Chain A
Amino acid sequence: MTNFTKLMAAGAVACLPLGSPALADGTVEVLHWWTSGGEAKALGELKSAFEAQDGTWTDSPIAGGGGDAAMTALRARVVAGNPPTAVQLKGPGIQEWAEQGALNDVQHVATDEHWDDVLPPVLAEIMKYDGKYVAAPVNIHRVDWMWGNPDLLEQAGVTQMPTTWDAFNAAADKLMAAGITPLAHGGQPWQDATLFEDVVLGVGGADFYRSALVDLDAAALRSDTMVASFDQLRKLRGYVDPNFSGRDWNLATAMVMRGEAAFQIMGDWAKGEFLAAGKVPGEDFTCTPTPGNGFVLNADSFTFFKVSGEPNLRGQQVLASLIMSPDFQKAFNLAKGSIPARTDVPLDDFDICAQRSHEDLLKATENGTLVPSMAHEMAVPRSVRGEFLDLVTEFFNSDMSSQDAVNRLADAAARAM
């Protein structure tokens, strides 16, 4: 094995004087599950940028199960000692693999290009293991968005966008009175958890969110604020139409588009659905942050695995540098509907929702109200997240009392630690 890689490296060096372009700037194999529409197009930007530098790109798309199939393949390949160069992997998952000693760091690229200065510190922390960058973020999705249908809101006399959950409840009651479904929602565990974390942020504030859903502090998990959060989630359950069970998020978005429901609370990938249907932000649909003056962060990233051999290592460095280049960040995020992870990329070509997102991101970074998403695998390990999702979704689909939910939430956190 090592002899073979040495041979490969020697071969690569031997090829250099002959000017073989294929090996001149490294090879990468990228494992990902971005296979649909806008996502595939966004990743195509990275591929063409890499190939423009004479690199060799091997694509390993493994679709299915929201990345579960890809994770299974990754596990098998790491065990076999043949990991891909970079893997679409995010959040605490990065730390889990780093603890197994499966990752390479790209710290010297990061130092040369001053990543620390351009990334929000909360995000930079997630990309590092042991103080060194082992992953590079491609985008930032905001989870705490509330998408609205302006016609329905006007019809029901809702003139102001709610900025507290009480105001939201009042608006929702008005909508109900006018015979309009206030909230479009899909009853899938991750969507229930998305509502839940936005509610926790709005009810308890960013500091409470952090101690409960990131640090898993038992006192915070058992606090009255958490009870109040579950009470609010119970209220939201009442604002959902009866057929929500199992519905996909994009169908819920379509309900807002078609005027069957007034609001949807969902991350900014929902914007892609509106835009794809030819809707204009600000006119045909509105984007407002959910109450709480915070920013719930979700970011996709590529994590660098322990490859060896000169062409692979060089490919890895080139890829890291490309991912963080302002040009790529802009092109990628225009295609995917998110905003660049670098905060210094101008957003002139982006729509008003993306610009708002960027502004709020800077504000939240400054005020310390930027929090990582629990529902989208940014805050806690998958084991804890799974237990939380079970509990939240059971609460949402039963008549469990808020006090029981709080006790079981704390038990679940203790069990999964």
Chain B
Amino acid sequence: MPVSSSSGFRPGQWLERRIPVLVVSPLFALSLFFVYGFILWTAYISFTRSGVMPVYDFDGLAQYERLWSTPRWYVAIRNLFVFSGLFIAISMAIGILLAILLDQRVRGEGLIRTIYLYPMALSFIVTGTVWKWILNPGLGIERLMREAGFESFRFDWLIDGDRAIYTLVIAGVWQSSGYAMALFLAGLRSVDDEVLKAAAIDGAGPWRTYTGIVLPILRPVFLSTVIILAHLAIKSFDLVVALTGGGPGYATDMPATFMYAFAFQRSELGVAAASATMMLATIVAIIVPYLYSELRQTGR
């Protein structure tokens, strides 16, 4: 029972003031433990010699040395940058283009918008499986073209170790550019008509209007689109598993699939924890400056 020495204490008021804290605290405690607790646990495991089972004797940076001398890790890191860069850039470019075209008050806009947005409703597993069939030289486009009479047609990126990573970009862009379009379209619609009319009166053509006025106004939309697409790219695990299985060889390995392979297939918890910690560090390095600048702006 709460006891208070202050004469003005009333239980009802105390409860009223505390109730939000009381309601939120179990959730807070759970996420503190299960998210941040296990981040710390993983970080600690990365400094031990854990193999099939976790061990808790401190072992210094051995697992990181091991990680950074593994060729497969470099492939995973390079793939992450190639994939994220192309995926974000192309999705946004297509998204903006579609949004601008749709913004010209075309007929049947609702239908077209739905069609472009529809891939987003599929899971990456479905996208990956379908594109695996389309891109397989023996089943998909290559065979179709050859049967149509183009005997020398070649499109075998899926089984080419140097190009397979681009097939992931193709499937990812197909899935996500409609979503980018929707975000930009919402942004375009929020641009004040008065501004556009003023531009028209000043004699600005459509190119000038978009590059000089509309796109700068959309800056916050760009930022949120980048953040959403970037986290899709960094999380991309299911798309890789479904489309290429990390292959040919391990040519399309990503840090997430690398970590899974080491933790669950090879009984190397230590190396897996080290790679997870490196991924976290990468994300923190990207997100913290962004959060800092955002918070500073809103705190103004």
- Complex CA–CA separation, A246 to B267 (angstroms): 24
Size range of the chain A interface in the assembly: 20 to 34
Check B247–A246 contact: CB distance below 8 A: yes
When C-beta atoms are compared, the residue in chain A nearest to B270 turns out to be: A383
When C-beta atoms are compared, the residue in chain B nearest to A243 turns out to be: B138
State the main secondary structure of chain A at its contact with B: helix
B187 is an interface residue with CB less than 8 A from chain A:
no
> Which of chain B's residues 247-280 have a Cβ closer than 8 Å to chain A?
247-251, 261-262, 264-268
From B70, B265, B268, name the one whose CB has the most chain A CB atoms within 10 angstroms. B265
Residues of A within 8 A of B264 (CB): 65, 68, 71-72
When C-beta atoms are compared, the residue in chain A nearest to B132 turns out to be: A246
> Which of chain B's residues 219-258 have a Cβ closer than 8 Å to chain A?
244-245, 247-251
Check B247–A242 contact: CB distance below 8 A: no
Residues of A within 8 A of B72 (CB): 390
B60 is an interface residue with CB less than 8 A from chain A:
no
* Residue of A71, A93, A243, A390 touching B159 (CB-CB under 8 A): A243
Shortest CB-to-CB span from B297 to chain A, Å, is: 44
- Complex CA–CA separation, A411 to B262 (angstroms): 18
When C-beta atoms are compared, the residue in chain B nearest to A71 turns out to be: B264
Would you give the 0/1 interface string for A202-244, flagging 1 where the beta carbon is closer than 8 Å to chain B? 0000000000000000000000000000000000000000111
Check B249–A75 contact: CB distance below 8 A: no
Residues of B within 8 A of A411 (CB): 69
Shortest CB-to-CB span from A216 to chain B, Å, is: 16
| Chain B residues bordering chain A, tally (CB within 8 A) | 30
Residues of B within 8 A of A189 (CB): 247, 249-250
When C-beta atoms are compared, the residue in chain A nearest to B72 turns out to be: A390
Given contacts A78-B53, A242-B159, A386-B266, contact A188 B247 (CB under 8 A): yes
- Complex CA–CA separation, A16 to B260 (angstroms): 48
When C-beta atoms are compared, the residue in chain A nearest to B158 turns out to be: A245
* Residue of A68, A242, A383, A393 touching B249 (CB-CB under 8 A): A393
Check A245–B247 contact: CB distance below 8 A: yes
Shortest CB-to-CB span from B151 to chain A, Å, is: 14
When C-beta atoms are compared, the residue in chain A nearest to B55 turns out to be: A100
Check A397–B52 contact: CB distance below 8 A: no
Shortest CB-to-CB span from B208 to chain A, Å, is: 49
> Which of chain B's residues 153-167 have a Cβ closer than 8 Å to chain A?
156, 158-159, 161
State the main secondary structure of chain B at its contact with A: loop
Check B250–A393 contact: CB distance below 8 A: yes
Check A243–B137 contact: CB distance below 8 A: yes
- Complex CA–CA separation, A264 to B70 (angstroms): 32
- Complex CA–CA separation, A408 to B70 (angstroms): 10
Shortest CB-to-CB span from B8 to chain A, Å, is: 51
Residues of A within 8 A of B251 (CB): 394, 397
- Complex CA–CA separation, A394 to B250 (angstroms): 7
Given contacts A397-B247, A397-B248, contact A381 B137 (CB under 8 A): no
- Complex CA–CA separation, A189 to B248 (angstroms): 9
A36 is an interface residue with CB less than 8 A from chain B:
no
* Residue of B69, B245, B266 touching A246 (CB-CB under 8 A): B245
Would you give the 0/1 interface string for B93-113, flagging 1 where the beta carbon is closer than 8 Å to chain A? 000000000000000000000
Check B266–A242 contact: CB distance below 8 A: no
Would you give the 0/1 interface string for A173-190, flagging 1 where the beta carbon is closer than 8 Å to chain B? 000000000000001110
A295 is an interface residue with CB less than 8 A from chain B:
no
When C-beta atoms are compared, the residue in chain A nearest to B164 turns out to be: A245
- Complex CA–CA separation, A383 to B67 (angstroms): 13
A97 is an interface residue with CB less than 8 A from chain B:
yes
Check B71–A408 contact: CB distance below 8 A: yes
- Complex CA–CA separation, A382 to B137 (angstroms): 33
* Residue of B159, B249, B267 touching A394 (CB-CB under 8 A): B249
Check A397–B161 contact: CB distance below 8 A: yes
- Complex CA–CA separation, A97 to B53 (angstroms): 9
Shortest CB-to-CB span from A308 to chain B, Å, is: 19
When C-beta atoms are compared, the residue in chain B nearest to A74 turns out to be: B52
What are 7 A-B contacts defined by CB distance under 8 Å? A68-B264, A71-B267, A189-B249, A382-B52, A386-B262, A393-B249, A397-B247
What 20 additional pairs, Cβ within 8 angstroms, besides A65-B264, A242-B159? A65-B265, A79-B54, A93-B267, A100-B52, A187-B159, A242-B138, A243-B136, A245-B248, A246-B245, A246-B248, A382-B265, A383-B266, A383-B268, A386-B265, A386-B266, A387-B70, A393-B248, A393-B250, A394-B249, A397-B161
B residues in contact (CB < 8 Å) with A: 51-54, 66, 69-72, 136-138, 156, 158-159, 161, 244-245, 247-251, 261-262, 264-268
The 3 closest A-B CB pairs, nearest first, are: A245-B159, A386-B266, A243-B138
